[in-house]
Structure 1
Amino acid sequence: MGKVGRKRAENYRLTAFRDFLGKCSLMDLESKGCAFTWTNNRTGDQFVKERLDKGLCNLDWRITYPNAESIALPAIGFDHSPIVISLHSRKDKKMRVFRYEAFWAEDEESMLLVKKKVWAEGESQGLNIVQKL
Structure 2
Amino acid sequence: MKMGKWRIAMVYGGRELAYRRILWDNLEEFCSNSNPVIVGGDFNYILANEDKRGGRPFRFSQGAREMSSFLARCDLHEANIVGPIFTWCNNKNGNARILERFDRCYVNPIVLHFNRILVRHLTRVASDHCPIILNFLDANFAAYKIIRFEKVWASYPDSIGIVKATWSKKINGDYAHVLNLKF
TM-score bracket, normalised by the shorter chain, equals: 0.5 to 0.7
Instruction: Note the C-alpha offset of 1:91.
Output: 2.3
Residues 60 and 92 (structure 1), Cα distance of their counterparts in 2 relative to 1, 3 Å cut: closer
Q: Which structure 2 residues correspond to residues 18-57 of structure 1 after superposition, within 5 A?
A: 18-57=68-107
- Name the larger-Rg structure: 1
Q: Which runs of 5+ in 2 are unaligned?
A: 1-56, 145-183
Q: Which amino acid aligns with 2:129?
A: H
Deviations, residues 76-104 of structure 1 (Å, cap 9, x unaligned): 111111110000164279xxxxxxxxxxx
Q: 1:71 aligns with which of 106, 113, 120?
A: 120
**Deviation string for 1:26-68 (max 9, x for gaps)?**
0000011112111011122210111221111000111111x21
Cα RMSD (Å) of the superposition? 2.4
Q: 1:91 aligns with which of 130, 142, 146?
A: 142
Shift of 1:14: 0.5
What TM-score does the superposition give when structure 2 sets the normalisation length?
0.43
2:134 maps to 1:80: no
Between Structure 1 and Structure 2, which shows a larger proportion of strand residues? 2
Runs of 4+ more than 6 Å apart: none
Match of 1:60 in 2: 110
TM-score (norm 1): 0.58
| In 1: Cα distance, 2:62 partner to 2:94 partner | 29
Percent identity, aligned pairs only, is 24
Aligned positions, number: 85
Which runs of no fewer than 5 residues in structure 1 stay unpaired?
1-6, 94-133
Quick one: distance in 2 between partners of 1:92 and 1:32? 10
Distance 1:49 1:20 in 2: 24
